Amino acid sequence: MRAIIGVGIDVRPHEKAAHPSNESRISSMRCPTLGNFRFRRTVAFGLVGQAEDLLVISPQATNLFGKRWADPKNPHQGAKWMKPTAWLQVTGDLASTRRAAAVFLDNLEEFCGAVDQQNWVARWINIGDAHALDGDLKIKKGAFDRATDAWLCALTAFEVARRLVEQGDARCGEVSAKVEAGIHRLRLSLTQKVERVPIACCEWPEFLAHFVSASRPDLCAPAVICISQEQETGPTLLGRLLPVVIGRGVSVLVVSHDDVSNQWRHQSEMLLSCCLDYLSARPDVDATRVGVYGDGLSAVLATDFAVSDRRVASAVCDGGLWNWSRLQASVRWMTRTAHVAEEEITSARRSRIVRQLRCPILVVADGRGAVSVSEAIKLQADCWAACIDLDLAMPRMARIPTREIENFVASDDCIFGWLEHKLIRNSVGFNQAKLR
């Protein structure tokens, strides 16, 4: 097992004993792709022991950042400057890239000050560009799988940059364009189809969605309808989810929040039912195993849809808590009182909508979710008491000077691991749940 830590030094497990100073040296090492790793020493030490846990761009790529790098063959002879003509070389597969992004996001408070944040946006864009160029080179050589892996790494890097960039920054458009370009590349190379498909509705104009087939197109696979969060396009959500869903046994249909959000009461449920009709008509989708995932406030749409359409087999939604909170606020405003009802009555009212759901539920609290952690915990306790299948996920958050940023890598892996588990467990012919 091999790891190139920061500046390209090979660190192997058997060398740890021979170089006991590795721990302190690595904790203050400068990475040409990510800058100074200001991890706690124990965290840095853990990364050394797991070679595949770091995203690595080799020293040849450091001209992107204007940093010095150490010669991997002679790491103790000081630093050198790379020639600007050096070709970009990227190492590290998708799994290691995503783990590195997760580590970065978990330690964001140590990395990002007000000025550093802007530098990190540029660095992650550069990392994405390097992976994209590497994918372009591999596709020319006919290495389709390796090119796909590189482009998926690029999408992960661009998503990190998108999380860091502030609203109104001109780079928002730049990152979005790079994501759409990455999706276009993947359409040409993936063995799993990425299609742009029309969704027909009897009473309304058709709208476009993105369909990604399961990893085994020869099988009739489960599917998930994914609704982007408010003020986010379908391609933006697709770019974030492609690295998660590729290789899983689940197809996805990604739709934009604006295309299915309420114009009048119950319209969103009807439009989403049209999406389910489309999936049911596909020969590669098992119509009895279709779930729904609402991102951000779209979790409210997912709840309403799962209540209205009994064909939904699992739902990542808000469990009705958004409507519950609005109802409570309206009652307090109309009565001009802060009177709190008895806990038994409150619990019954809070779980009323959940009882209408006939499928397993995952509520995402805080982060992209539409509900608070405290209310979600109370709802979960009510559901456990009533033997309702409801799970709770709480995203890992890090604070920067202007806001909080969610570790989307960990959250997405959790959500789609749950969906895959529930949909495959409920299928005919599977006696044991498949866990990722």
Look up the CATH number of the domain holding residue 219.
3.40.50.1820
Is residue 296 over pLDDT 60?
yes
What is the predicted pLDDT for the residue at 13? 37
List pLDDT tens digits, range 179-226: 999 999 998 776 668 899 999 988 788 999 999 998 776 678 999 999
pLDDT bin (cut points 50, 70, 90) of residue 373 is: confident
The helix-helix angle for 298-308 and 321-335 (nearest 10°) equals 100
Choice among 71-85, 353-367, 417-431 with the minimum mean pLDDT? 71-85
If 0-12 CB within 10 Å is exposed, 13-18 middle and 19+ buried, where does residue 21 land? exposed
Helix or strand run (H / E) with residue 399? strand 397-399
Alpha helix positions (H), 194-320: 234-245, 257-260, 267-281, 298-308
- Domain-terminating residue out of 134, 158, 183: 183
Q: Is residue 432 part of a domain?
A: no
Statement to judge: residues 383 and 353 lie in one domain: yes
Q: Which long-range contacts (CB under 8 A, 24 or more apart) does 277-285 make?
A: 278/197, 278/199, 278/200, 278/209, 278/253, 279/223, 279/225, 279/251, 279/253, 280/311, 283/220, 284/213, 284/214, 284/217, 284/219, 284/220, 284/221, 284/251, 285/220, 285/221, 285/222, 285/223, 285/251
Q: Is residue 431 part of a domain?
A: no
Residue 378: which of 322, 293, 321 has the closest Cα? 321
Q: Is residue 435 part of a domain?
A: no
Q: Is residue 79 part of a domain?
A: yes
Statement to judge: residues 135 and 205 lie in one domain: no
User: Taking every pair of C-alpha atoms in the chain, what is the biggest distance, in angstroms?
Assistant: 75
Statement to judge: residues 38 and 173 lie in one domain: yes
Q: How far apart are CA 47 and CA 40, in angstroms?
A: 11
Statement to judge: residues 223 and 175 lie in one domain: no
pLDDT bin (cut points 50, 70, 90) of residue 327 is: low
Q: Decide: pTM greater than 0.85.
A: no
- Domain-terminating residue out of 149, 183, 217: 183
Beta strand 35-36 with 404-406 is unpaired
Structural domain of residue 134, as residue ranges?
4-183
